């Protein structure tokens, strides 16, 4: 699939509202309390760190993600639409208010990144995830600074259908293992700073 076709597909899906997988109200009705979220997030720090920078290679960086993305992912873990041994258990105990609060807490950080030098950004990823791995649309995650292992695992989960997304499944279906590894290595080499 050529880069232009992917960009048009992704933009159309985003405008059509299918990125997040549905099931989460608009951001205006789910605005959380970051201070309350910080108190709840104490349980998140072992894996995701106090500022949302992952402490273990299988956990993603979540500091500086959009509140809508974080809330939709927590809601998906809670409902079972997305599964993870740890996160499914944690999210099951969260109310809508607690999800909004935790999302507001981690969204309160600012993530910036520098793209890897001397490498062009992957064309299929730029429309949503940006050249430096910082998302340019609200319901796409930042990829900068994630471990190659985490990114490789997630792309393969999209490709196999284990993880569902109207946007990412068709993109991942076009990638072989070598392309997945190259994308994972590119974004893991981006220098992430979360403040």
Q: What is the pLDDT of residues 1-19, one digit of tens each?
A: 444 444 433 433 333 333 3
CA 184 vs CA 29, 51, 156: distances in Å: 35, 23, 11
Does residue 187 contact residue 146 with C-beta atoms inside 8 Å?
yes
Closest CA to 184 of 144, 151, 142: 151
Among 1.10.760.10, 3.20.20.10, 1.20.1250.20, 2.60.40.10, name the CATH number for the domain at 3-7+22-194.
1.10.760.10
Query: What tokens does 136 get?
Result: 């340019």
Class of residue 17 by CB neighbours under 10 A (exposed 0-12, middle 13-18, buried 19+): exposed
- The pLDDT score that the predictor gives to residue 30 is 63
What does the domain layout of the chain look like in residue ranges? 3-7+22-194
- The pLDDT score that the predictor gives to residue 186 is 96
- The pLDDT score that the predictor gives to residue 47 is 97
pTM: 0.84
- Identify the segments of the chain with pLDDT beneath 50: 1-29
Does residue 46 contact residue 55 with C-beta atoms inside 8 Å?
yes
CA 191 vs CA 7, 54, 70, 113: distances in Å: 24, 14, 21, 5
């Amino acid at each position: 699939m050529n880069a232009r076709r992917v960009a048009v597909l992704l933009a159309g899906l985003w405008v059509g509202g299918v990125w997040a997988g549905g099931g989460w109200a608009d951001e205006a009705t789910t605005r959380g309390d970051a201070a309350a979220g910080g108190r709840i997030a104490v349980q998140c720090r072992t894996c995701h760190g106090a500022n949302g920078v992952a402490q273990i290679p299988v956990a993603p960086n979540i500091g500086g993600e959009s509140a809508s993305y974080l809330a939709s992912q927590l809601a998906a873990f809670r409902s079972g639409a997305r599964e993870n041994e740890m996160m499914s258990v944690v999210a099951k105990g969260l109310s809508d208010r607690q999800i909004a609060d935790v999302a507001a807490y981690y969204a309160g950080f600012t993530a910036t990144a520098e793209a890897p030098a001397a490498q062009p950004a992957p064309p299929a990823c730029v429309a949503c995830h940006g050249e430096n791995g910082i998302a340019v649309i609200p319901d796409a995650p930042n990829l900068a600074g994630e471990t190659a292992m985490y990114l490789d695992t997630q792309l393969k989960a999209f490709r196999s259908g284990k993880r569902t997304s109207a946007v990412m499944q068709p993109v991942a279906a076009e990638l072989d293992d070598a392309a997945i590894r190259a994308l994972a290595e590119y974004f893991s080499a981006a220098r992430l700073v979360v403040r």
